[in-house]
Amino acid sequence: MAKFVFVTGGVVSALGKGIASASLGNLLKARGLNVILQKFDPYLNVDPGTMSPFQHGEVFVLEDGAECDLDLGHYERFTQTNLDQNNNLTAGRVYETILAKERKGEYLGRTVQVIPHVTDEIKRRIQLPADNDPDVDVVITEIGGTVGDIESLPFLEAIRQFRLEQDMQDTASVHLTLVPYIETAGEIKTKPTQHSVRELRSIGIQPDFLLCRATHSIGEEARRKIALFCNLPTEHVFDAQDADSIYQVPCNLNDQEFDRLLCQKLGIETEEPDLTEWKHMVQVILNPPERVRIAIVGKYIELKDAYKSISESFIHAGIPNHAGVEQVWVDSETLEGDEVGDRKLDEVFNGCHGILVPGGFGDRGIQGKVNAIRYAREKKIPFLGICLGLQCALIEIGRDLVGLDMAGSAEFDVSTPHPVIHLMEDQKGIANMGGTMRLGAYPCVLKEGSRAADLYGVLEISERHRHRYEVNNSYRERFEQAGVVFSGLSPDGQLVEVMEFPDHPFFLAVQFHPELKSRPRVAHPLFRGLVKAALVHQAPKQDSTVG
């Protein structure tokens, strides 16, 4: 019989509910439990796939191709589990399901209403992971948004009903709240937490545990006060102080026995978790013996969440390389214009030991990416291109080495005489934007003896995708003559998945998104390889300064 944990947030958004939920999942998994995490978002988009990264941060793609909230990335990274499309639900999806049923006449003439129809559908989805897999021990459901939002009400009402319908000890409510420190008064304030919990209780949900986000430790007295006013035991009020690394959060919660008390509340008996390896990993993250600097040339750099998985992948890749990776964010639009020559690029990339060009859509900043890639190629700086990064690499090489004047991509340059990147055949005729790209895991076969094969250590791999455009095969031969090696192809040989440039210390680009499969304990081979190459790249310079 599965147990159900609900994670809500109060006071303000962006408190780190996703990390808190993922950390909880991590601890329960370390106790030997089979845990599934899911995220319910109250907005009306059917999924975040059509939302701009500026608005919503990165779109995380699962094995099955579901386009999800970036918190699913944290869940997968913290629990080393692959989730599926059932683990992310939006209000839009709930309504889509209900309205489709209504059109089919499945409500038999009844009036379709928020209660019970919307709430019933939400309850069905809470239960679904446990229904689909009888071995699931705990389902953790995080509710997006902040308690008090109008749009989250149906979700909270569904949780209230769900809890009422279960045995008392089969569910738990965890509420994440903010305990601000008021600088001028020199003290922390518990009132916002009291209000937030009051709001939650007025909906009929008594939280069992409070995680208090704070810049300073909240201290014993405040814990007692919060417990008293919020109607729960003092030992169920936890300090969730800012951590230097998100990977420290499970350790901090475990130090306060959160996982033990949660299991006690849910009536689950397990062994104590062994966090030795995880703690060791956190130590390496916090005190890396070496450092290396890698530039990320993208267009969504104002919002770091837009490249969340890439940032995390660099942290993971630093661990086996015993290095901390400092990420330097470069707005590709600043690398455009007539005045951008090598002098400007020297300035921008001064002290960078590697360059990464991430995925993206549309024409903004393309020329800047192309300039950065040319610079990486010519100056022999380790380079990794991801999705649009691969497409830009071929545009650059097409123009500079193959002699394809004004080579471009049909995505943003319809009049190019050389569409080295063009729309995939099965994308032609698709009008809808949502969920219609080539999405999710597809196999790829690597070329024996290539750098990619060497990095992966195997010849058959599977990676996650999110794209509409691909390498135009009619140009493949000309690229090969210019020295490009297409070292990864779809099993039928028709789609380029990986390209590399052997006459370079590390120049590799991929059509898929390796960052979606990097895990803290299993860094992705491509990121690991890039960081390693970057360390080698910086070494001679270091020697000369030391010498």
Residues in contact with ligand GLN by CB under 6 A are 359-361, 387-388, 411, 466-469
- Which lies closer to ligand GLN via its Cβ, residue 208 or residue 396? 396
Vertex 275 angle, CA 274 and 278, to 5°: 145
Q: Which of 387, 422, 444, 524 is catalytic?
A: 387
Catalytic site residue 396? no
Is residue 387 among the annotated active site residues? yes
Q: How far is the CB of 466 from ligand GLN (least distance, A)?
A: 5
Distance (Å, whole) CA 335 – CA 333: 5
Cβ distance 282 to 253 under 8 Å?
no
Q: Which is nearer to ligand GLN, 162 or 469 (CB)?
A: 469
User: Under a CB-based contact definition with an 8 Å cutoff, are residues 499 and 393 in contact?
Assistant: yes
Amino acid at 27: L
360 vs 398 by CB, closer to ligand GLN = 360
Which listed residue (74, 513, 524, 537) is catalytic? 513
Nearer to ligand GLN, 2 or 388 (CB): 388
Residue nearest to ligand GLN (CB): 359
241 Cβ neighbours under 8 A, 6+ residues apart? 213, 214, 215, 216, 217, 218, 252
Q: Which residues pair with 182 in a beta bridge?
A: 187
Paired with 408 in beta bridges are: 419
Instruction: For ligand GLN, give the closer residue by CB, 467 or 528.
Output: 467
Report in angstroms how near the CB of residue 296 gets to ligand GLN at its nearest: 14
Least Å from the CB of residue 419 to ligand GLN: 13
The CA distance from 213 to 174, in Å, is 13
Is the CB of residue 123 less than 8 Å from the CB of residue 154? no
Distances (CA, A) of 2 to 7, 136, 268: 16, 6, 10
Name the minimum Å distance from CB 391 to ligand GLN: 6
**Of 361 and 375, CB closest to ligand GLN:** 361
Least distance (Å) from ligand GLN to the CB of residue 137?
Answer: 35
Query: Shortest approach of ligand GLN to residue 307 CB, angstroms?
Result: 11
Q: Out of 312, 396, 411, 515, which one is annotated catalytic?
A: 515
Q: What are phi and psi of 510, to 5 degrees?
A: -135, 145
| Overall residue count recorded for the chain in this entry | 547
Closer to ligand GLN at the Cβ: 2 or 387? 387
The two tokens of residue 176 are 């994440």
Helix (H, G, I), strand (E, B) or coil at 333: helix
**Residue in this structure with the two tokens 């999405």, named with its chain if needed:** 439
CB of 468 to ligand GLN, least distance (A): 4
Which CB atom, from 349 or from 469, has the smaller least distance to ligand GLN?
469
Q: Which residues touch 257 (CB under 8 Å, ≥6 apart)? A: 235
Residue/partner pairs of 184-193 with CB below 8 Å, 24 or more apart: 188/214, 188/216, 188/218, 188/219, 188/222, 190/218, 190/222, 190/225, 190/226, 190/229, 192/10, 192/11, 193/10, 193/11, 193/226, 193/230
Tokens 């999806």 locate to 93
Nearest to ligand GLN of 61, 325 (CB atom): 61
Least CB distance to ligand GLN at residue 231 (A): 47
Report, in Å, the least distance between residue 335 CB and ligand GLN.
18
Residue in the block written with tokens 């069992």: 208
User: Cis before residue 502, ω within 30 degrees of 0?
Assistant: no
What is the secondary structure of 64-92 as a DSSP string? T--EE-THHHHHHHHHT----GGGEEEHH
Q: For residue 347, indicate whether it is catalytic.
A: no
Q: What is the distance, to the nearest Å, from the Cα of residue 74 to the centroid of all Cα atoms in its chain?
A: 6
Q: Kindly list the distances between the CA atom of residue 535 and the CA atoms of 53, 186, 289, in Å, as whole numbers in the listed order.
A: 30, 44, 12
Task: Kindly list the catalytic residues.
Answer: 387, 513, 515
